Amino acid sequence: MDNMKMTDHTTTNWTTFLGFDVGKDTIAIFDSASGQHHILENRAAPLRRFLKTCDPQSYAVCEATGGYEGCLLDCLLACNITCHRADARKVKSFIRSFGTLAKTDAIDARALADYGRERHARLAVWQARSTAQVELQTLAHHRVDLVKLRAAEKCRLQAPQAKIIRPFCRKLIAHLDKQIATIEREINRRIASDERLARTVECLLAMPGVGQITAHTLCAFLPELGTLTRRQVAALAGLAPHPRDSGKMHGYRRTHGGRPQIRTALFMAAMSARQHDQQMRAFYQRLIKNGKKPIVAITAIMRKMIVILNARMRDMEMLHQS
């Protein structure tokens, strides 16, 4: 849901639903108005030529495909065509609900158009992203990958039979340390040069437990912060407890889903807040006293923190606009 905004579409009369199955080199398109399939190169020029022939009242749907959909989204915005970037898991379940087991680009493109026709009133519309936001998220993604790689090398270094490879592991870890530090400096520079991002980081750092890495992670992976309800932000952070009830059975409610980068960052922030914030420490101790497991209490702190941060960001933006 990156950079999406919930909009009321119930009063819009869409004439056409377009499904775009995006690949690295080509895009398969289904046009519901004509019932025709098209194959275009994944480049701006052919995409714009096609979109200019579409009705302005078209609704487009594509999937997140590791960034290969970026050119298409930019072209859709430039042509003023409403678009939703769908969760591939939800679209896959939608296709299977019809008993369809076959998979081709044409089938997927048509399914995306059908998905938009049936659910557009409840779908979030893709919004233009600033260059600073795109660059920050790219840098933050790369940092996350390097940190995971460093952690894997440190585990390999401790393996019982790792004596012969330890010199190589140490060299790689040292190199990764330098790369991560360089990326963090670049992230700091990008945030300092953007007024809104700098203002956001300052607001986030005001909460006890939130350090620079957590603030940068929230900026990069949760740009909607301050525009969501408390339930929406908890769900996006993967901190909303989901019921598992059926008949007389009331199952254990677990948190799952959401954006894993946010959850990881908030876990470290919650551990720090439990130690250094008096209110959070009292909240944690009260939950433990009531019989909650430590991990459940920490998760509750994480949820409390992101809800508070969302409210603070909303208030800050309202104050800045007034």
Give the least confident one: 7-16, 52-61, 79-88: 7-16
pTM of the model: 0.81
How high is the pLDDT of residue 61? 96
Q: Any bridge partners for residue 37, and if so which?
A: 30
Instruction: Return all residues near 265 (Cβ < 8 A) that are at least 6 apart.
Output: 213, 214, 217, 218
List pLDDT tens digits, range 85-96: 998 899 999 999
List pLDDT tens digits, range 307-318: 999 999 999 988
List pLDDT tens digits, range 202-252: 999 999 999 999 999 999 999 999 988 999 999 989 998 877 778 888 877
Rounded Cα gap, residues 71 and 48, in angstroms: 10
Domain ranges in the chain? 4-126, 131-193, 220-244+254-321
Whether residue 260 is predicted with pLDDT greater than 80 in this model: the reply is: yes
CA angle 205, 198, 84 (to 5 degrees): 100
Angle between helices 131-157 and 212-221 (to 10 degrees): 130
How high is the pLDDT of residue 7? 44
Is residue 74 packed enough to be buried (19+ CB in 10 Å), middle (13-18) or exposed (0-12)?
Answer: middle
pLDDT cut 70: percent of the chain above it: 96
Of the pLDDT bands very low, low, confident and very high (cuts 50, 70, 90), residue 12 is low
Residues 104-107: contacts with CB within 8 Å, 24+ apart?
Answer: 105/21, 105/23, 105/28, 105/39, 106/21, 106/28, 106/30, 106/37
Give the least confident one: 74-88, 189-203, 246-260: 246-260
How high is the pLDDT of residue 317? 87
**Residue 185 φ/ψ, nearest 5 degrees:** -65, -40
Rounded Cα gap, residues 233 and 249, in angstroms: 28
List pLDDT tens digits, range 167-179: 999 999 999 999 9
How high is the pLDDT of residue 54? 92
First and final CA of the chain: distance in angstroms?
Answer: 28
Q: Calculate the alpha carbon distances from 160 to 148, 155, 156 in Å.
A: 21, 10, 9
How high is the pLDDT of residue 245? 79
pLDDT cut 90: percent of the chain above it: 74
Average pLDDT over residues 247-261: 82
List pLDDT tens digits, range 193-211: 999 999 999 999 999 999 9
- CA-based nearest residue to 220, from 256, 194, 239, 255: 194
Average pLDDT over residues 97-103: 90
The secondary structure element, H or E, covering residue 209 is none
Q: Calculate the alpha carbon distances from 86 to 20, 60, 125, 150, 172 in Å.
A: 11, 10, 10, 32, 38
Mean per-residue pLDDT of the chain: 91
How high is the pLDDT of residue 8? 45
User: Looking at domain 4-126, which of 2.40.30.10, 3.30.365.10, 3.30.420.10, 1.20.1050.10 is its CATH number?
Assistant: 3.30.420.10
Who has greater pLDDT, 40 or 251? Answer: 40
Is residue 109 packed enough to be buried (19+ CB in 10 Å), middle (13-18) or exposed (0-12)?
Answer: buried
Of the pLDDT bands very low, low, confident and very high (cuts 50, 70, 90), residue 127 is confident
Whether residue 2 is predicted with pLDDT greater than 50 in this model: the reply is: no
Rounded Cα gap, residues 252 and 247, in angstroms: 14
Torsion on CA atoms 203, 5, 186, 140, rounded to nearest 10: 100
Instruction: Return the half-sphere exposure (C-beta side, CA atoms, 13 A cut-off) of residue 322.
Output: 6
